[in-house]
A and B are shown apart, each in its own frame.
Chain A
């Protein structure tokens, strides 16, 4: 059974940093592309970052480019999101999602990031 478990969400002050983790199990993590998707309270889904299986290709949404960094450790079956210069509008539940051919076929349960003073 595919499992994706996010962690690292917390309350952080504006301008602060946070690192999210996503622990994967139940599938061959190293051969799949992965994504981070977020959802602000009461809002829709927003894709924010993509990383290919080998980390050779990385994309970001304009809203986080230059502030967030996606990376992975295939030996540890883990995906990460380093978030810097956090703003109030980064407040959201952050999901990691496994991707196959442009479709996100498995999702974690999400971790809440709150940016507030």
Chain B
């Protein structure tokens, strides 16, 4: 069973700064990794799929990279609306299940 680990747990930054979030898988997931953003009281929103593809309507300041076991979500310059919790997620074929990482909270410094 694949386990996803995210680091850091909390990232304290100021608007305009660059955010780098990490997601590590316990075994290779190829490029089948997604990133979601969730704000308090809201549903998650898909940001990145297949490790590096931006979902529809997602600003270019969000980018994803990586393959195998190590993945990164980068926000090039934080906007006030980007302060939220970010989750990575993968789907495994056996056992058939979807797994989320524990999340990284990006908070205002």
Tell whether, in the assembled complex, residue A104 and residue B46 are in contact, meaning their CB atoms are under 8 Å apart: yes
- From B19-27, B74-82, B98-106, the one touching the partner chain is B98-106
Interface size class, chain A: 20 to 34
* Max chain A Cβ within 10 angstroms of own Cβ: one of B87, B89, B96, B98: B98
User: Which parts of A73-112 form the interface with B (CB within 8 Å)?
Assistant: 95, 101-110
Tell whether, in the assembled complex, residue B99 and residue A47 are in contact, meaning their CB atoms are under 8 Å apart: yes
Main secondary structure of the interface of A (DSSP, over half): strand
Residue total for B at the interface (Cβ-Cβ under 8 A): 24
Contacts of B8 in A (CB 8 A): none
Nearest CB to that of B45 among chain A residues? A107
Contacts of A50 in B (CB 8 A): 96-98
Tell whether, in the assembled complex, residue A107 and residue B43 are in contact, meaning their CB atoms are under 8 Å apart: yes
Tell whether, in the assembled complex, residue B100 and residue A59 are in contact, meaning their CB atoms are under 8 Å apart: no
Q: CA separation between A68 and B41, bound complex, in Å?
A: 25
Q: A residues within 8 Å of B by Cβ?
A: 35, 37, 44-47, 50, 59, 61, 95, 101-110
Q: B residues within 8 Å of A by Cβ?
A: 32, 34, 36, 38, 42-46, 49-50, 55, 87, 89-91, 96-103
* Max chain A Cβ within 10 angstroms of own Cβ: one of B45, B46, B101: B46
Tell whether, in the assembled complex, residue A107 and residue B49 are in contact, meaning their CB atoms are under 8 Å apart: no
The 5 closest A-B pairs by CB, nearest first: A102-B91, A47-B98, A107-B43, A103-B49, A45-B100
Tell whether, in the assembled complex, residue A104 and residue B34 are in contact, meaning their CB atoms are under 8 Å apart: yes
* Max chain A Cβ within 10 angstroms of own Cβ: one of B50, B100, B101: B100
Known interface pairs A102-B32, A102-B34, A102-B91; A107-B44 also in contact (CB < 8 Å): yes
Contacts of B98 in A (CB 8 A): 35, 37, 47, 50, 102, 104
